[in-house]
Chain A
Amino acid sequence: MIAFLTKRLMHAILVMFVISVLAFAIQGNLGDPIQQMVGQSVPESEREALRERFGLNDPFHTQYLRFAANALQGDFGFSYFYREPALDVIARHLPATLELVFGATLIIVLLSVPIGVYSAIKPRSPISRFFMGVSIIGISVPVFLTAIVLIQIFSIGMTVSLFPQDTAWGSWLNGFLSTEGGMPSFGRGQDLTHMVGYWDSNLFTLGGLRHLALPSIALASIMLPLFIRLIRAEMQEVLQSEYVKFARAKGISLRRIYFVHALKNTLLPVITVGGVQIGTMVAYTILTETVFQWPGMGLMFIDAINRADIPLIVAYLMIVGVIFVVTNTLVDLVYGMVNPTVKLTGKPA
């Protein structure tokens, strides 16, 4: 266990090193940060002085070594735009992103398990077919489109007049399909509960949860179909296995077979995929956060790229790298606990 964690720590350091070099190497293509800091009519001499002050004229290795030396002491540079240490900026934006990912994960877990299990048990029922059909659409529609549609329906509201308004059924259908909107379409709102440090939470007030709802649904929409299909496929496979047949022959109640014996074994691969996907979800938050103006790390990162805020970009990429390593490590640990035949150190079992 300790050997495993040590190895992962080395991984994390290697990942951070490679990312920092790459991030540094591309900064020349990100544009000129000075351009964003001065008015258009500012003379070249003033710009040059600023470039000198920020050390942008130094050769690549000088800049990198200076950064690395500071980074080893926990100083990841100073964001040009926020005028604060980059790590502080990230720490301030992290809780918003984590809460969004948490909300989406919760939706995924609560929906994908029952739907997946149901459609594995009754693959031919119309409800299963409906969910499978919808999930194909879900996988194919890009998240920003989902987000815009959600905003139109639930925030702005939609008047449907597809059906003849002068008939009773037509006006009823129109009324049924029309929405009045009213859900918040941007930001985290003002009803935040202050927790500790940089963490202001959306989770403990109704207003906060209302702000969280649409972005979470949009973010969940990408992963949900994947998990429904995964659980369904795994479950179907498990239901074919010998021990399920035996349990059935033994006369154990179907409910117990499905939810105790079969589901447990279904969840093993789901955990693996899930762990990796949580990392991916952090990446998808960039799109979701942009559309909903959710003040998390994703939006911060997009803005940083637009402003060529290099220290912040480098720090963000490194932090995301760490998040990936950490989630993968946790998944491996959990996996080891759920399935004792897996050995962590990677020797063949």
Chain B
Amino acid sequence: MTFNKTLMATLVGAAMTGSALLPMTALAETTLRVGYNADPETLDIHEQLSGGMLRFSHLSFDPLVRWTKDFKFEPRLATSWEQVDETTLRMTLRDDVTFHSGNPFTAEDVAWTIERLKESPDYRAIFEPITQVEAIDDTTVEIKTAEPYPLLLNLATYVFPMDSQFYSGTTDGGDEKSEIVKAGNSFASRNVSGTGPFVVTERRQGVRVDFERFDDYWDEESPGNVDRIVLTPISENAARVAALLSGGVDFIDAVPPNDMDRVREANGVNLIEVPGTRIIGFQLNEELVEAFQDPRVRLAVDYAINQEGIADRLMRGFATPAAQFSPEGYSGHNPDLTPRYDVERALELMAEAGYEDGFEVDMIAPNNRYVNDAQIAQAVANMLARINIKVNLRTMPLAQYWPEYDTRQSDIAMIGWHADTEDSANFFQYLSACFDEETGAGQYNYGSYCNEEIDALVAAADTETDTEKRQEMLREAERMLYEDAGYIMLHWQNLAYAAREGVDVEPVLNALDFPYLGDLVVKE
């Protein structure tokens, strides 16, 4: 019976005093309790290309180079690089780095890792341009491409060297340790050895991951002072915010717009917003709706949508209105292109095209993928009604949305896109390029929009190694797409984090949504 008494005492005590039983006393070492909306799907960084995996990669591994806040390259495991000839990049590596297993880091590991990336279903396509990687000596590696390729450094941000000795050989079960098995029980999905600031000490999938700072971490100049990280996935938005406000965690990601004011006004908690790079927009299906083949109708749709209004009111400022794919900081960002909301003009265009009486279309949108996605789609449907386009909207959860999207059986579809290469050309290649099943071009070009001039320009840009020239070409491509209304842009979705006072996250955040927690400073 003592047991029952204890339980009752706790319940009653808790209910009556609330605060009488305070959480644990401060620990001698600095522990950061993180509440992300998801935990890493696996420990094999090449098994899946996702935001969660890249965040994990930055904790337990280091890239060759990484992005700074303003989209510059910062040396990490590679200290310098030079273009030896048109198709060869030589990188010099650090010589003072060891893996968590104790093995030294050498150029061989880089070559091994890139070879493995070329085996990964998720990364294979991105690393396709690289034909050969050669370790010249312990600290020099040469990366060769078939054609001149301007984005090698962008790719280098994805190269998180793995411990080739650790991942070589076979397991007791006779499986290759290096094999990449999707949703399977591979060696690499359970064991990890990287060079990163944090070592995984314990992991229970979907419940928590524990990290401890790596004693022999090479970057002694890093101001980071976090000794332990406890990462808890909290997928429910309200629960994640409550966890921070109640002091259960120190740092959360993805604060929902509806809770922002609450977080902003709470004591001892800071909200940090970062402009994001994910473009949200709509694609018009030209195969199914003849009217959408007419650029005037597409322009009318674009003129009818009030991007500023959506960003302002619906998103409560949590988005940057867009009129092009490339966010600021990307090479192709064209500052001349701005949203052009004008219902009068839209009606004129509809009349010019012979559609003053409008027509009826259906639209699909996810309801749990992007911030406020279903509400945005509803707002856009209402805006289109004003130019006599009657929209029948269907929203559905993510797991059902993509199969539905792939059938291309609706007239308008919503899609958000983040360029894996952090480069403008990627948007065009996936979202607006003429669809070609063979090459995979225009894989997400739902509307079958096709403008060969733009495609040619983007293709030329992708072999142009002169940064200035390349930038001009991509800006021109953005302008052409804008004038043609090939993709209906809405906004770039911002990122919002919140942390308790003293956790100085601002310096380690970036538009890529990979907080560099290794450099995080926590003041007590």
Partner-B contacts on A (CB < 8 A): 29-33, 35-46, 49-50, 53-54, 78, 80-84, 92, 103, 106-107, 110, 148, 151-157, 179-187, 190, 203, 206-207, 209-210, 213, 216-217, 290-293, 295, 299-300, 303, 305-308
Q: How far is the CA of A148 from the CA of B124 in the complex (A)?
A: 45
Which of the 9-residue segments B56-64, B180-188, B317-325 touches chain A? Answer: B180-188
Those 8 A-B pairs whose CB atoms lie nearest each other, nearest first: A31-B399, A39-B49, A180-B19, A155-B246, A308-B399, A80-B183, A46-B121, A31-B400
Q: 18 new A-B pairs (CB below 8 Å) besides A82-B205, A203-B3?
A: A33-B399, A35-B403, A40-B417, A41-B420, A43-B125, A45-B440, A80-B183, A92-B204, A151-B239, A154-B18, A155-B246, A181-B18, A182-B18, A183-B18, A186-B35, A293-B243, A295-B204, A306-B398
Interface residue B370 (Cβ < 8 Å from any Cβ of A): no
Chain B residues with Cβ below 8 Å from A40 are 417-418, 444
Q: Is the CB of A81 within 8 A of B41?
A: yes
Task: Say yes or no: A210-B14 contact (C-beta < 8 A), given A30-B400, A83-B184, A295-B206.
Answer: yes
Interface residue B430 (Cβ < 8 Å from any Cβ of A): yes
Interface residue B456 (Cβ < 8 Å from any Cβ of A): no
Q: How far is the CA of A40 from the CA of B51 in the complex (A)?
A: 11
A-B contact pairs, 18 of them (CB 8 A): A31-B397, A31-B399, A35-B399, A37-B183, A38-B48, A40-B418, A41-B426, A42-B49, A81-B41, A84-B185, A110-B8, A155-B242, A155-B248, A181-B246, A181-B247, A183-B14, A210-B14, A217-B15
Q: Is the CB of B21 within 8 A of A210?
A: yes
Q: Is the CB of B18 within 8 A of A179?
A: yes
Task: Say yes or no: A32-B399 contact (C-beta < 8 A), given A39-B420, A107-B11.
Answer: yes
Q: Is the CB of B126 within 8 A of A41?
A: yes
Q: Which of B2-33 contact A (CB under 8 A)?
A: 3-4, 6-8, 10-11, 14-15, 18-19, 21-24
Interface residue B189 (Cβ < 8 Å from any Cβ of A): yes
Q: Which of B239, B420, B443 has the most CB of A within 10 A?
A: B239
Main secondary structure of the interface of B (DSSP, over half): loop
Interface residue B331 (Cβ < 8 Å from any Cβ of A): no
Task: Say yes or no: A36-B399 contact (C-beta < 8 A), given A155-B246, A186-B242, A300-B206.
Answer: yes
Q: Is the CB of A293 within 8 A of B124?
A: no
Q: Is the CB of B245 within 8 A of A306?
A: no
Which of the 9-residue segments B228-236, B304-312, B341-349, B508-516 touches chain A? Answer: B228-236
A287 to chain B, nearest CB (A): 11
Q: How far is the CA of A106 from the CA of B3 in the complex (A)?
A: 12
Chain A residues with Cβ below 8 Å from B171 are none
Main secondary structure of the interface of A (DSSP, over half): helix
Q: How far is the CA of A17 from the CA of B221 in the complex (A)?
A: 62
B365 to chain A, nearest CB (A): 15
Q: Is the CB of B121 within 8 A of A307?
A: no
